[in-house]
Amino acid sequence: MITGHLQEKSGRYYMVLNLYIDGKWKPKWITTKLPVKGNKKKAEAMLRETISKYEAMEAEEKGKTGDDILFSDYMLKWLELMRSSVEDTTFTSYRYIVKDGVAPFFAEKGVTLLDLRPKDIQEYYEYLMVERNNSAVTVRRHHANIRKALQHAVKADIILSNPADKVEKPKPKPYRASFYNADDLNVLFSTAKGTRLELPILIAAHYGLRRSEVLGLKWDAVNFTQNTISICHIVSEAKDDQGNSYLVQKDRAKNKSSLRTLPLMQQIRDALLQAKDSQKMYAKVCGREYCKEYKEYIFVDELGHILNPGYLTQAFPNFLEKHGLKRIRFHDLRHSCASLLLANGVSMKAIQEWLGHSNFATTANLYAHLEYESKLEAARAISSKLTHVLGPDTGTPEKKVQRKQKERPLKEKGDTIKEKEPLEIPTQLL
């Protein structure tokens, strides 16, 4: 099974085939001679035709159908199939799982795709948890990749059933997100004032945006007339085959629900206008040295270069440590926003829409414990208000019974039982 993808270079489409030569996967570049503009479908057709020709040549040369392919080799071929069908950031994760984990482990075992059994996969998961000390969440990500690859083999009639379906996945521990309360956030805002991190922190905490959504904000997404801010563009980071990082800029969000328009709060409006004036000033002062490539973006440095996602990930915890503040991740500002909304009576459904979660279950699973804590607060509030009527709480019902039994004197022979006195109704209830 030969795989390949299209690559743009010098304004033309190139076909990049992944060929297994002398025990190693090597890319083969073939020009389509087609300009990029208006020729994507033609280039894709040429790619499919070229792959078919190379597969026919490979089958003729080897004289076999590939039924004895090693599972490790199959995973590498499947990985290349995924290159053109998933986002760059997703493919970066897939590549790490397959090339750093699955492929080396099963290559050493020498297990073929047809001979792969559930016990082989279970052994790999045990290796991840014991030898590499990976969490259950990480192991489940590996499982997702293995199962998806094997499902492709089932659909291609290479194997009859998916052995990954019979493997027991480890159960992850319940996740409790870290967050700042209102007092913590106000201290953070005050400490960050005047720094490069001030505006990213303000927007992430007020709107609960993901890192990619914060850095993806453009000036045309902010309507200062209608006082709205739209989340419709992302800036993230991926890695190429050599491990080099590059920016991914897309006019979309994580999912369809993530595309949303929110009201522009006054404090954020003021901060954005100030940032806009600062950008104009830096552009004027720096002149030709100022980078104009990212002038439509809100988050750029003093020379006009877009802020890198890795910068926020590293600079934010360093900033907290420097100023003696509680350590959280930049993403935890999103959780802090959700906890504040919940504490102020905002419904889970409204929080789902505010945060841009694709379904209600995601929101409920993340913040159910916070919702219960808010109910406890409500119970305490009601209890404290009613103590003047019912009296202070003196313990559980069982303890109250035991206490009364101790206080009541034992009845002697001949004692008469006095008639119960009428219950006094507190004047507050009359």
Within its chain, how far is the Cα of 209 from the centroid?
A: 11
Domain C-terminal end among 114, 145, 173: 173
pTM of the model: 0.65
In a domain, 251, yes or no: yes
In our burial notation (b when 16+ CB lie closer than 10 A, e otherwise), range 147-177 reads: bebbebbeeeebbeebbbeebeebeeeeeeb
Both 192 and 325 in one domain: the answer is: yes
Within its chain, how far is the Cα of 223 from the centroid?
A: 28
What residues contact 198, with CB distance under 8 A and at least 6 apart? 189, 192, 271
* Contact criterion met (CB below 8 Å) for 353 and 367: no
In a domain, 413, yes or no: no
Domain that holds residue 129: 70-173
Domain C-terminal end among 353, 368, 383: 368
Tokens representing 212? 């990619």
Taking each continuous run of H as one helix and of E as one strand, the counts in the chain are 15, 8
pLDDT of 107 over the 70 cut: yes
Both 57 and 78 in one domain: the answer is: no
Both 320 and 207 in one domain: the answer is: yes
Q: Which of 72-76, 101-105, 336-340 has the lowest mean pLDDT?
A: 336-340
Both 213 and 330 in one domain: the answer is: yes
Tokens representing 26? 């090597």
What residues contact 128, with CB distance under 8 A and at least 6 apart? 101, 134, 138, 139, 142
Both 195 and 144 in one domain: the answer is: no
Both 338 and 239 in one domain: the answer is: yes
In a domain, 378, yes or no: no
Q: How many domains does the chain have?
A: 3
What is the share, in percent, of the chain residues with pLDDT greater than 70? 77
CATH number at residue 75: 1.10.150.130
* Contact criterion met (CB below 8 Å) for 70 and 110: yes
Both 229 and 246 in one domain: the answer is: yes
In a domain, 423, yes or no: no
In a domain, 99, yes or no: yes
Domain C-terminal end among 120, 154, 173: 173
Both 115 and 164 in one domain: the answer is: yes
Both 250 and 225 in one domain: the answer is: yes
Kindly state the average pLDDT of the residues 205-218: 94
Kindly state the average pLDDT of the residues 66-83: 88
In a domain, 393, yes or no: no
- First-to-last alpha carbon distance for the chain, in angstroms, is 85
Both 147 and 232 in one domain: the answer is: no
User: Rounded CA gap, 351 and 211, in Å?
Assistant: 18
Condensed to tens digits (0 to 9), the pLDDT of residues 293-351 reads 999 999 999 999 999 999 999 999 999 999 999 999 999 998 888 888 887 878 778 88
Both 298 and 258 in one domain: the answer is: yes
Distance (Å) of CA 228 to CA 251, 262, 278, 404: 18, 6, 21, 63
Both 273 and 148 in one domain: the answer is: no
